[in-house]
Chains A and B, each alone.
Chain A
Amino acid sequence: MISDLFTMTVFVGILASGIRLATPYLFAAIGETIGQKSGVLNLGVEGIMLLGAFASFYVTFTTNNLGLGLLAAIIVGAVLGLMVAFVNVTLKAEQGISGIGFYLFGLGISELLFQITMGTVETVSGFPPIYIPILSDLPVVGDILFRHNLLVYTAFFLVPVSWFLLNKTTLGLKIRAVGENPEAADTMGVSVTGIRYFTCILGGVFSGVAGASLSIALLNVFQQNLTSGQGFIAVALVYFGGWRPFGVLIGSLIFSLVNALQLWVQIKSLPIPSDIAIMMPYVLTILALVIAVQRVRPPSALAKPFERGG
């Protein structure tokens, strides 16, 4: 029975949707990687994603302009990133707890605004797929890799870009220095606070776009708790990926493929309860963390506020 269902078309379909579904994970986890590299743990990614998803959806819905929608997610993400930076860096709050606060804030306020402004679930026409010339005509590979929308390509493009930023630029060196040894970086004249504000805002923007990728590119709807834990999984993916963009890429793909499979299972109504199927990514996250953390060490100053002369 399983073999009947699992034809070549299904196989291609699952892989292609796996690539697509990696998009929110990639945006959020790459942003979080850069933030954690500088020593800031932002656990509020989920909340920022929700607000970004709502903002971009609402603006797109009312103006019918995808560019403005994306801009809205970027602005919302940047503002929230600034708030995260103020709380975690300037006020030196316990980052594990403040993140939960930001999550609840985003969860509640996105739902509140949704109910006030719209009330019912609507749809928009999101970013259309762009067929890459020639490549998209390739058999199998073309379907899987080269028929996606702009945000999907951007997310994958971010992986080498962020790798380059972190490892080959002066700014990247400063980010890593601030995350490994803020005292030394401070002595060398690097502004620990400045760098961390920068990475928090950048991470906020990426989280906001991650939300937008769900609401105006992949699902094209907004509803309560649209992100359903993907922001938290993205934070875990940073650990899983060993704080390396390409590690995050591998983790994101594993998770998005599991998601694609799980959606397929739900559609095919195989004899697996959907609640149990939804549970699987979380179980997988824990197992993945057990395997992953044996290999790599987190940035030394992760989640530790910097105290000059302290």
Chain B
Amino acid sequence: MIIKVKNLVKRYGDLVALDHLSLSVNEGEVFGLLGPNGSGKTTAINCILALLKYDKGEIEIFGQPMTPDAYDIKRNIGIVMQNVAVYNELTVYENIDYFCGLYVKDKKTRKKLVDEAIDFVGLGEFIKFYPKKLSGGLLRRLNIACGIAHKPKLIILDEPTVAVDPQSRNRILEGILELNRQGATVVYTSHYMEEVEQICSRIMILDRGKAIATGTKDELKAMIGIGEKITVETYSLSEEQLSRLRKLPNIVSAVYKNQTLEIKADKGLHNLETVLDFIKKEGIQFGKIYSEMPTLNDVFLEITGKDLRD
């Protein structure tokens, strides 16, 4: 086990930021911490890294207690902060070299690692640029390179794609998977459920400092009753029609709002066909109609009663 956190409690005055949080991260996995803003993801990461004091709990990394002086542990950790943490007065190359140099003393090894990190994040053309000259996406890539250049066994990425363009975001996500393929264990925090679904092998959903669900994305989705979501764009639908729709087999709920009919159904092979037959029979005029599998947002919504994006 790479990280083991047991009953972690962190309070800011009366506010409980982490409420008896326990988690474990296994070697080789991409572990996702998913939750809305203020759910305690970054606080948890800062506690794990021994930056923040906490009121209660135990934290072990690589099987040893994590403390500020645990340099052997720290040597094997790479961190990519939520805020870009680089020196504006150093060039791209100098920044990566500086932070890598805090972990790797040998100059030749360091040069090789820095060159590899630059290739990895695709900043080869910008090595002499100062951070202020870089776009938001390139700056994020530099932030990542500074965190991973020393080839750590454990990489912690705290919302690394905030305010990043889609192209850079895809590159970053692909890079994270590549690092994982190269052997690194990854902890990834985000409030973007699509990203977490895309790259994480195991996910913990946090809300108000509490772990509300943990598992693979399929396991999480299996926790809720919904098997399929069908959305129909229609201009008019009467209460009677809606009532009859709800009585159809497998239909869990049907809500008509803003000219959109949202139907949630149990798992079943013919749900869409059933709904289409009903619409045809009732003579309901419709625009688009589509079916989708439940998302992590649905999981969050079902457990907490609120939207992940709120």
Q: Do A and B bind each other?
A: no
Contact surface of A with B, Cβ cutoff 8 Å: none
Interface residues, chain B, CB within 8 Å of chain A?
none
